Amino acid sequence: MFLTTRSTLNSLQRMQAIMVKELRQLSRDKPTFAMIVMIPLIQLLLFGFAINTNVRDLSVALVDQSHSEIARALVADLTATQVVHFVKTYQTPDQASKAITRGEVRAALVIPRDIAQRIGDERPLAQWLIDGSDTMVGSALLGLRNMPLTTLNSRGFATNFSTTKPTFEMSLFYNPQRVAAINIVPGLVGVILTMTMVMFTSAALVRERERGNLELLITTPVKPMELMIGKIMPYVFVGFIQLAIILGLGNIIFDVPINGRIDHLFFAVLVFISASLTLGMLISTVAQTQLQAMQLTVFILIPSILLSGFMFPYEGMPAAAQWIAESLPATHFIRMIRGIVLRGATLMDLWPDLLWLAGFTVIGLIVAAKRFKKRLD
């Protein structure tokens, strides 16, 4: 009995010694200790304020073919709902449809010339052309179908318009059945590629250092930029394999269409993979250990998933969260892949996002190479 108790006490003392050693080592590792505190703090503040499922201020276009006071009153009623924000004006519905394809606006309101007659006939007053590729955005706009005509009534334009009649006709493009998988699968490509590409390369240089291979690389004639490019190139093929799996099975199992050109899709994915691998390489030049690299990767991944528009509408975020989202490669790629796959957009239609990703890749590679060069010194 005495020996058993003594053995237990010795075991507890050894575990205590190990625990004290780990705590002291952790407290001396200032970067890791800072991330332990800052990651949950920043994520809590960021997502507590940023995540909002109430869709507001959707960017929409106006095609006013009547140019009447009734049309202006109708627009005033829509603006008062705070669901939509008119940012563009077009002369024809075809121009507005092309703007939706390019992703410049989420929807377009077409007000016909005979709007006054429609009020008398109790027909829908106007038509919404809606980008249905995002189901949450589509649902928010469909909620305006029976919108009350407060301003029109106050001005005496629609006092006889029946409240049981729909106010608008609704045309839902790209996903009229509002199937969630059609919206999720293309966005999932961005999420999966972000997770794997950043994770693969974020520990690349750190792993070489911990294995003792960094000294060997220093003695070779390999230049820093050559090292950066050589490190990321093998994972480009991995990214295309993942793309084929996700979109191929998505098409077979969930009937997700691929409306755009395949070559445009491949080029967009190539640019995004390069940007994601570059981001991972930047993390690898900052982190001192693989644990730090993993923590920094998680710190990037969570905003990339939640702020990119994959799960929650971009328009529902406050301005500060939108600025953060714009700095993340995943935000630009999810816009691009949904535009190409679902709306049939071309690279020319999506050139701002394409240019941003290409610029991020070039600048990121230069910064990563220079940071590695400093380590050589």
Q: pLDDT tens-digit profile of 58-111?
A: 999 999 999 888 889 899 889 988 899 999 999 999 999 999 999 999 999 999
Q: What is the DSSP letter of 297?
A: H
Whole-number Å distance between alpha carbons of 220 and 222: 5
Q: Please, what is the average pLDDT of the chain?
A: 84
Does position 377 have pLDDT exceeding 50, yes or no? no
Domain ranges of the chain: 58-173, 180-376
Whole-number Å distance between alpha carbons of 44 and 49: 8
In the prediction, which pLDDT does 201 show?
83
Task: Spell out the residues 6+ positions from residue 157 whose beta carbon is closer than 8 angstroms to its own.
Answer: 69, 70, 73, 116, 119, 149
Strands 126-131 and 107-111: antiparallel
Q: pLDDT tens-digit profile of 355-365?
A: 999 999 999 98
Token code pair at residue 222: 């390999």
List the end-to-end C-alpha distance of the chain, in Å, as a whole number. 62
Model confidence at 347, pLDDT cuts 50, 70, 90, reads very high
Single pTM value for the model: 0.82
- Residue 368 identity (one-letter amino acid): A
Query: When comparing pLDDT for 201 and 260, which is higher?
Result: 260
| Three-state DSSP class for residue 86 | strand
Does position 210 have pLDDT exceeding 90, yes or no? no
Q: What is the CATH number of domain 58-173?
A: 3.40.1710.10
In the prediction, which pLDDT does 107 show?
95
Does position 240 have pLDDT exceeding 60, yes or no? yes
Q: Which residues pair with 169 in a beta bridge?
A: 127
Q: Are 342 and 174 in contact (CB under 8 A)?
A: yes
Q: Are 278 and 156 in contact (CB under 8 A)?
A: no
Does position 155 have pLDDT exceeding 90, yes or no? no
Does position 263 have pLDDT exceeding 90, yes or no? yes
Whole-number Å distance between alpha carbons of 96 and 109: 9
Whole-number Å distance between alpha carbons of 87 and 105: 8
Token code pair at residue 259: 């409306």
